[in-house]
Structure 1
């Protein structure tokens, strides 16, 4: 669930993800409030036959593609702006013995369309690539074969914030940025989609996603006390745990939704 800016790469102005993000999530396999069990649950629930082709936009470290290639025999391509995460994705593919089935492309997922139509087009937690839900669903459709499936991971409000300050404390731009779950599913229907599966995060999977960032950050700070980002990262670590349990953990939901065009 990325909410950090794209920035020039430090070694030559290549498109890349801001370094603060890769520091916080340096040991994450999944860059959303989704643990490996839920990712496996989703893969099994979709009943994907061997040979299913998958495009994963903003794929991060490639855990979806790599584990589903191992467990279900899918093949596919992941696209991401982070050179750090893509290096980890390629290493992960080798670890799992699926490097012949999956590949990874460094690039901006916004506007990316597969060269050949795919069976499944996914964007798990990065709907900014299409400026929101509607645009991202439309973008993913452009890569699908007829009858193909869209997978969208996206936040929703478990509790609607009482005011805009609370929404911003949940890392939302405003209360209007997200919808409650019933309204989100209704939005998919308004876009001409049937919701055919969903797997939702719970508070434990939120904890594993967010709390793990604190240890990553602290260990990085201990090893890099004089880095130009140290003061910023220290401030984030100082305020982050209390803000998370007071706001994000209580108000934010998140899930992956499988959609088929009607």
Structure 2
């Protein structure tokens, strides 16, 4: 069996999250306006947003942290294609307790769990404290964090991810208040729209669904089909219940 026999992974996605080109452009411009010299991307994936920030802020350098070697390799290839290899480093390592700060700008989109103890429930307060530690005075943090649009019902929770609980996320006002309590001012508050979620969730599975349709009897088809069906079913249950907030945060003092 060769790599060509396996289902493709995330090839239909530009960003590893529910993020439109329009919203990404706004996030990038607000970071670039602060003229960051150093940028850290936590849970960077293939670093599409990181690379665009570096392009928008001439002379800046960046580091992308992730534990997925395949995504990091994709990021290095993209950096090479754009002539950014000398300004960005993709590192396969955990962000927990990282010493790769302080920096002028931090990206942490859908990855705050990387800053929390994996043995404990996800704690956005702990993640925000770490982000405050890692950003320099006058810097910027872009945090993409899940929140409940409304409190989910027990039936909805049962269909989401294993062990899903109402305690897994905050409501948006609680999340913003927590950012303020953690030493930030929320310079910009925005939330992902339904179109962004649908483009991400469909794109996440698109290539694999095409592969399954073309290879129904492949030795990996049953396992892959079960995984993708679970993912899709989970989305159907958190659709319009789970939101994502994009907060541009400025440290106080």
TM-score (norm 2): 0.83
Displacement of 1:47: 4.5
Partner Cα separation in structure 2 for residue 168 and residue 48 of structure 1: 44
Gaps of 5+ in 2: 1-5, 117-122
Partner Cα separation in structure 2 for residue 192 and residue 211 of structure 1: 36
**Greater RCO (CA < 8 Å, at least 6 residues apart):** 2
Matched, 1:128 2:93: no
Partners of 2:47 and 2:64 within 8 A in 1: yes
Matched, 1:234 2:225: yes
Provide the residue aligned with 1:76 in structure 2: 62
Partners of 2:31 and 2:140 within 8 A in 1: no
Provide the residue aligned with 2:119 in structure 1: none
Taking the TM superposition and a 5 Å limit, the aligned residue runs for 1:54-69 are 54-69=39-54
Partner Cα separation in structure 2 for residue 188 and residue 169 of structure 1: 30
Provide the residue aligned with 1:52 in structure 2: 37
Partners of 1:170 and 1:252 within 8 A in 2: no
Taking the TM superposition and a 5 Å limit, the aligned residue runs for 1:102-251 are 102-114=88-100, 117-131=102-116, 132-163=123-154, 165-171=155-161, 173-221=164-212, 222=214, 225-227=218-220, 230-238=221-229, 240-241=231-232, 243-245=234-236, 247-251=237-241
Partner Cα separation in structure 1 for residue 32 and residue 210 of structure 2: 40
1:100 to 72, 75, 86: 86
1:89 to 61, 75, 79: 75
Structure 1 pair 89–159 and aligned structure 2 pair: CA distance change class (3 A)? same
Displacement of 1:168: 4.3
Structure 1 pair 204–94 and aligned structure 2 pair: CA distance change class (3 A)? same
Displacement of 1:123: 1.6
Displacement of 1:67: 1.2
2:18 to 8, 18, 33: 33
Partner Cα separation in structure 2 for residue 259 and residue 192 of structure 1: 9
Displacement of 1:209: 0.7
**RMSD between superposed Cα atoms in Å:** 2.5
- What does the per-residue CA deviation read over 1:122-152, in whole Å, with 9 as the maximum and x for residues that have no partner? 2211111223211112222332223322222
Structure 1 pair 139–101 and aligned structure 2 pair: CA distance change class (3 A)? same
Deviates more, 1:42-51 or 1:63-72: 42-51
- What does the per-residue CA deviation read over 1:154-199, in whole Å, with 9 as the maximum and x for residues that have no partner? 1111122122x41243437201111111111111122232111133
How many residue pairs are counted as aligned between the two chains?
A: 237
